[in-house]
Structure 1
Amino acid sequence: MKKRISLIQLSSVLAEPDKNYARACALMERALADEPDILVLPETLNTGFFPKERLAELADKDGVRTREIFGAFARTHGVNVVAGSVANLRDGKIFNTAHVFDRQGNLVCVYDKIHGFSPSGEHEFFAAGNEVRNFSLDGIACAMVICYDIRFPEIVRTATLRGVDLFFVPAQWPLARKHHWVTLNTARAIENQMYLCAVNGTGMAGETKYGGNSVLISPWGDEIVHLGSEEEIGCGDIDLDVIAGIRSSINVFRDRQPDRYKL
């Protein structure tokens, strides 16, 4: 099975949800020229990462706006949408929440970021999620984490043990740690023998430059797509049929011995 994925490397404007939703839709419209099966956006696309003083005011309320905009887009254009993540006010708490929509506009996954980036104080403003979520797009077994989560291989492996062929990582990762970003995502793809699509934001938030360098990586660790450091759209093709051969030649899931290394 072959699929085409568009990586939409959005430059969100800090604390400007109206502009950011409109820009995301404009870039998605542009990406349709490549006839993708899946569109993927970055983390906190509605607010940027992240306006502390007005976060509750600016956050989407129960994800309503996000579901309306991206669900309608997916349904209208018959395309799957991994709508990055948004600051999301729910049950009196703010979550960093990812929404995923299938071609009919159905919401097939809601994932709350588990690990807040403590050096920036994210954990003080966003409530932590408590569950890894698996889902399906076009019959493909998928899962995802958000940004800082990728530094914790335990949650990625938790998802992949349920069966994952395609993994998504929306992020707002600083340019200063670009090497970490590329290396960690590549390692997760190789060690779990899956395709991995990691879409990072760009632009400035305060003094922090977010680094782009969104990547689509094969199960062998090859870069199918590697974008630059500014706002950009990239598109790449994946072939899910190759995964079975990779896993049979080096069967890490069969050869695991988890009773020897419990955490």
Structure 2
Amino acid sequence: MKLALAQLGVEATDLDGNLDRALAAIDAATARDADLLALPELWNVGYFSFDAYPRAAESITGSTLSELSDAAAERGLALLAGSIVEDLAASADAGVDVPEPEGLANTAVLFDADGERRAVYRKHHLFGYESAETRLLTPGEALPVVDMFGFGIGAITCYDLRFPEQFRALTDAGATLVLVPSAWPYPRVEHWETLPRARAVENLAYVATVNGAGAFEDAELLGRSTVYDPWGTTIASTDDEPALVTAEIDPGRVERVREEFPALRDRRDY
């Protein structure tokens, strides 16, 4: 399976321009014969544009995700549509199952190649360090894992990388590929490179981090979107400029690595 990560150049509050860049990434991924494309965290509004969250918020059945999923489905491309600011009340009104029928959430949605919504992940760990996320957003509860392309695909978002117990819960639910849409800024480069590699090693799974690129008033995204294999080896990566990262990944490799090095079988409960 060919995985593509769209490290989009994100412009603060430029909803139309950011959508155009996401649609262009769908075309670019299709041209490279990708099977699954992942977008970054809050790519349409910009993570650090906190004041714009309320006006950017919409249902997950709204125009932004609908346009993206339609465009991907026309090309036979599965899509993790990064994350958007979800208006939970609007989603509830549209018949979507939501944890709380009010407030906002940082929500990632996975569509299959037919444009069908297969999974909804709402960010669990809200970032409290120099961030308004904890004040503005409602944390999620569900940890969906979906069978696609021979993988058990799960998703977490950015700050969730710091919580290994969440990854282990995904592994217990069958995840063999974890997608990580993010908006990770400078200067924490070492954290960005170490944490997903550690999660891949701990869980003997593929981990793919897709970050944004671009500068905001108080932060600059560091890019470096990367695919790690089940040994924690980097198999594809890039720098801090907008880019499309692609990698061939194999579900059978997870099975072989877990058989060769059966650390998961040696776990003990505490």
What TM-score, normalized by structure 1, do the two folds share?
A: 0.94
Superposition pairs for residues 1-263 of structure 1, below 5 Å? 3-91=1-89, 92-119=102-129, 120-258=131-269, 261=270
Change in CA separation of 1:240 and 1:116 when aligned onto 2, cut-off 3 Å:
same
Q: CA RMSD in A?
A: 1.2
Unaligned runs of 5+ in 2: 90-101
1-structure distance, mates of 2:139, 2:57: 16
Q: Secondary structure at the match of 1:149?
A: helix
2-structure distance, mates of 1:62, 1:241: 33
Q: Secondary structure at the match of 1:50?
A: coil
Runs ≥4 in structure 1, deviation > 4 angstroms? none
Letter matched to residue 19 of structure 2: Y
1-structure distance, mates of 2:117, 2:65: 8
Q: Secondary structure at the match of 1:83?
A: strand
Query: Comparing both structures, which one devotes a greater share of its residues to strand?
Result: 1
1-structure distance, mates of 2:65, 2:183: 21
Deviation at 1:154, TM superposition (A): 0.7
Letter matched to residue 179 of structure 2: F
Letter matched to residue 112 of structure 2: D
Deviation at 1:163, TM superposition (A): 1.2
CA contact (8 A) 2:48 2:219 kept: no
2-structure distance, mates of 1:226, 1:51: 27
Unaligned runs of 5+ in 1: none
Deviation at 1:248, TM superposition (A): 1.3
1-structure distance, mates of 2:7, 2:183: 10
Deviation at 1:63, TM superposition (A): 4.4
Identity of aligned residues (%): 33
Q: Judge which range, 167-176 or 234-243, deviates more.
A: 234-243
2-structure distance, mates of 1:46, 1:251: 41
1-structure distance, mates of 2:185, 2:104: 22
Deviation at 1:62, TM superposition (A): 4.2
Deviation at 1:33, TM superposition (A): 1.5
2-structure distance, mates of 1:62, 1:38: 19
2-structure distance, mates of 1:85, 1:54: 15
2-structure distance, mates of 1:187, 1:62: 32
Letter matched to residue 107 of structure 1: R
CA contact (8 A) 2:40 2:181 kept: yes
2-structure distance, mates of 1:55, 1:82: 20
Deviation at 1:155, TM superposition (A): 0.8
Deviation at 1:70, TM superposition (A): 2.1
1-structure distance, mates of 2:52, 2:152: 37
Q: What is the number of residues matched between the two proteins?
A: 257
CA contact (8 A) 2:36 2:79 kept: yes
